[in-house]
Chains A and B, each alone.
Chain A
Amino acid sequence: MILAGHRTALRLAVLSAPVFAALLAAFAFGPYPLSPAEALAALWAGPSAVNDAATVVWQLRLPRIGAGFLVGAALAAAGAAYQGMFRNPLVSPDILGVSAGAGLGAALAIYFGLPLAAVQAIAFVGGLLAVAAVVFVAGRVRRHDPVLVLVLAGVAVGTLFSAGISLVKVLADPSVQLPSITFWLLGGLNAVAPADLWLAAPLIGAGLLPMLLLRWRVNLLSLSDEEAAALGVNVARLRGVLIVSATLMTAAAVSIAGIVGWIGLVVPHAARLLVGPEFSRLLPAALLLGGGFLVAADTLARSAAAIELPLGILTALVGAPVFLWLLARSGRSGT
């Protein structure tokens, strides 16, 4: 029992090593390459040092790496929560249509030239609308495999919201708004300013807090509603709180990084393989892995080719095959 706690702590520590390596690599790689030692030295010297390394590390890379870690961690935590509460290892913010809903909200806000705070608020409303629509539709369809119904409803609602995004793109000013909407929909961190971080971080924290506090009870939502209720949980209220939290985190992530898919699906699975499904162990593992994975993907996106690759394309390259693999083995017991 105490042993199990130690084992989890050990696994988290082991997990942290590659994550820190990814962070260090992110500070080192880029158009202005630094050695890891130089990067660490620049970080150590502080933001006020007057040299190129300090400027690159503190002004350019730190906000971007911070944003990447925050977005990856938020999407992975939201995915872990969605998978548990919908008893469905195949759902994630993008599969449930939350990303598309938040994307439409954000695209509309950009179209109307609203400030970032409004973009985030409208993205949140869009995401919440999408997940509400999916849950409503899936609840109406009985006599079918509920896992499949939820996924299909998510795909349908996501398609609807994507159509809305396309419409906004057609209407948008092709020289000013369209490029920013398009690039933003592909997902990327190149446009993140430190000010964006200060807006998104508290929202992500606000979504994370209920998950942290309710971390034990989240486990019970993976049982049938009857069982969870008989064990003393107010199922509807708990699920409602978690949907709002996970959607808030997703919308905040989408509003600064665009639609970065697949992380919310794949990372919780990897985390579950490492530390098991118990949410108080799963959540920290998902946060670490999600943050580390996105920072690594972003490092690749900005340093692998002469031009910057959209982040969403890289995460899709990893995520889609993993999703198909999960789908193929979903007949067997979940991880």
Chain B
Amino acid sequence: MSVLEARGLAMGYRQRAVGADIDLALGAGEVLCLLGPNGGGKTTLFRTLLGILPPLAGTVRVADRALADWSRQALATRLAYVPQSHAGLFAFSVEDVVLMGRTARLARFSTPSAHDRGVARACLARLGVGHLAERVYTEISGGERQLALIARALAQEARILILDEPTASLDFGNQLRVLKEIDALRRQGLSILMSTHQPEHALRVADRIALLKAGRIVGQGPRALATADALADLYGADPADVARSLPQLATA
């Protein structure tokens, strides 16, 4: 059963269509990795799946209910989004940043309670960064920020996560840490849709992969779908080069 599903989706902006005919399904408890070149429409697709951009055609369903039928607040209790690690503007504490994930669980005029603070702390601890709670978000490293943003999504207590290039701009150690956490979250039963620029990351954590090129899904299926030829075609590279730099690929 799929928890997040796009059917015949056309996406884009008023004057400019970015993609069309997108069929995508995220199964319960699986990790689906979206691969594709820059400008292929990954970000636009995420914005559409999150209900920030209205679809130009087709439908998006979350937990078997049309996206348009969800209120913002209710949707945020089901579907959480982890943006790329960003610098932040004001010097919020890491705990306050994570607490923002509790907003959908609060009554309109409430502020977070002691219980909410406990949840925020627990989410940080779950990712092994409990010690960051009192630190200032704008002053921690990019990797720590990414983990804080994942903790914020966990604080939403949503069962579906969308992660936009969670390993981008992280050093090697932090990349491994984030991949490990994604794997751990899947084992805890969360359903995860993520994009990445590194096929080897997809091969490590994904149950299935989807290839997005020029606004269209050109392949969707098990990891074995990522052959040197398929990736070469996706990124406009030489198959021999791809095979050389990713020896773990299945050979066609």
* Docked-complex contact A278 and B92, CB < 8 angstroms: yes
- The residue of chain A having its C-beta at the shortest distance from the C-beta of B133 within the complex is A1
Nearest chain B residue, comparing its CB with the CB of A333: B138
| A226 touching B75, Cβ below 8 Å | no
Contact status B90-A84, CB under 8 Å: yes
**0/1 per residue, B102-121, Cβ < 8 Å to A?**
01101011111010011001
Task: Please indicate the chain A residues that have their CB under 8 angstroms from the CB of B77 in the complex.
Answer: 232
Q: Do A226 and B83 touch (CB < 8 A)?
A: yes
Q: What's the minimum C-beta distance from A8 to chain B, rounded to whole angstroms?
A: 12
Contacts of B1 in A (CB 8 A): none
CA distance A280 to B99 in the complex (A): 13
Q: Which residues of B contact A335 (CB under 8 A)?
A: 90-91
- The reply to whether A216 and B103 contact each other, CB–CB distance below 8 Å, is yes
Alpha-carbon separation in the docked complex, A29 to B138 (Å):
44
Q: Is B52's CB under 8 angstroms from A225's CB?
A: yes
Chain B residues, Cβ within 8 Å of A306: none
For the complex, is A219 an interface residue (Cβ under 8 Å from B)? yes
Instruction: State how many angstroms separate the Cβ of A238 from the closest Cβ of chain B.
Output: 10
B182 adjacent to chain A (CB < 8 Å): no
Q: Across the interface, name the chain A residue whose C-beta is closest to B93.
A: A276
Whole-angstrom CA separation of A112 from B159 in the bound complex: 62
A335: nearest chain-B partner, CB-CB: B91
Establish whether residues B81 and A276, one from each chain, have CB atoms under 8 Å apart when the complex forms.
no
- Asked if A167 is at the interface of the complex by the 8 Å CB criterion, the answer is no
Pair B52/A276 contact, Cβ less than 8 Å? no
Are A216 and B106 in contact, CB atoms less than 8 angstroms apart? yes
Q: Does A162 contact B (CB under 8 A)?
A: no
**Residues of A contacting B117 in the complex (Cβ-Cβ under 8 angstroms):** 1
Task: Decide yes or no whether A217 CB sits under 8 A from chain B.
Answer: yes
Chain B proximity mask over A211-243: 1 for CB below 8 Å, otherwise 0: 001111101101111110111111000000000
With A216-B111, A216-B112, A232-B103 given, is the CB distance from A334 to B50 under 8 Å?
no
Q: Which residue of B lies closest to A147 (CB)?
A: B89
**A220 B50 Cβ-Cβ under 8 A:** no
Bin chain A's interface residue count: 20 to 34
**A97 beta carbon closer than 8 Å to chain B:** no
Whole-angstrom distance between the alpha carbons of A217 and B103 in the complex? 7
Contact A333 B72 (CB under 8 A): no
Q: Are B90 and A277 in contact, CB atoms less than 8 angstroms apart?
A: yes
Bound complex: CA A276 to CA B139 (Å): 14
Q: Is A89 an interface residue (CB 8 A)?
A: yes
Is B25's beta carbon under 8 Å from chain A?
A: no
* B106 A227 Cβ-Cβ under 8 A: no
Check if B181 is an interface residue, CB within 8 A of chain A. no
* Nearest A-chain residue to B114, judged by Cβ: A1
B81 touching A226, Cβ below 8 Å: yes
B47 interface residue per 8 A CB criterion: yes
- With contact pairs A219-B100, A225-B52, A226-B83 given, residues A232 and B90 touching in the complex (Cβ less than 8 Å): no
What is the bound-complex CA distance between A213 and B51, given in angstroms? 26
Question: Which chain B positions have C-beta within 8 A of A219?
Answer: 92, 96, 100
B103 touches A220 (CB 8 A): yes
CB of A226 within 8 A of CB of B100, answer no
Residue of B nearest to A277 (CB): B90
Minimum distance in angstroms from A306 CB to a CB of chain B: 44
Q: Can you list, as one digit per residue, whether each of A241-279 has a CB less than 8 Å from chain B (1) or not (0)?
A: 000000000000000000000000000000010001110
Given contacts A1-B114, A214-B109, contact A276 B104 (CB under 8 A): no
Candidates B47, B76, B106, B110; contact of A226 at CB < 8 Å: B47
Are B81 and A230 in contact, with the CB atoms below 8 A? Answer: yes
* B228 contacts partner chain A, Cβ-Cβ < 8 Å: no
B residues 64-106 touching A (CB-CB < 8 Å): 72-77, 79-81, 83, 86-93, 95-96, 100-101, 103-104, 106
A229 contacts B50, C-beta separation under 8 Å:
yes
Known contacts A214-B109, A216-B110, A224-B83; decide if A230 and B50 are in contact (CB<8 Å): yes
Q: Which A residues lie within 8 Å of B52 (CB)?
A: 225-226, 229-230
Q: Write out the residue numbers on chain B whose beta carbons fall within 8 Å of the beta carbon of A277.
A: 90-92
Q: Does B195 contact A (CB under 8 A)?
A: no
B196 contacts the other chain (CB 8 A): no
A2 at the interface (CB under 8 A from B): yes
Bound CA span A2–B95, Å: 13
Residue interface mask A76-103, B partner, CB < 8 A = 1: 0000000010010100000000000000
Q: What are 29 sample pairs from A and B whose C-beta atoms fall under 8 A apart? A: A1-B114, A1-B117, A89-B89, A89-B90, A213-B108, A213-B109, A214-B109, A215-B111, A216-B110, A216-B111, A219-B92, A220-B103, A222-B90, A224-B86, A225-B52, A226-B52, A230-B52, A230-B81, A232-B74, A232-B75, A232-B77, A233-B103, A276-B92, A278-B92, A278-B93, A333-B91, A333-B139, A334-B89, A335-B91
A residues engaging B (CB < 8 A)? 1-2, 84, 87, 89, 213-217, 219-220, 222-227, 229-234, 272, 276-278, 280, 333-335
- The 5 tightest CB contacts between A and B, nearest first, are A232-B104, A232-B76, A277-B90, A230-B81, A333-B138
Given A220-B100, A230-B76, A231-B104, 7 additional A-B pairs, CB 8 A:
A1-B114, A216-B112, A223-B100, A229-B50, A230-B81, A276-B93, A277-B90
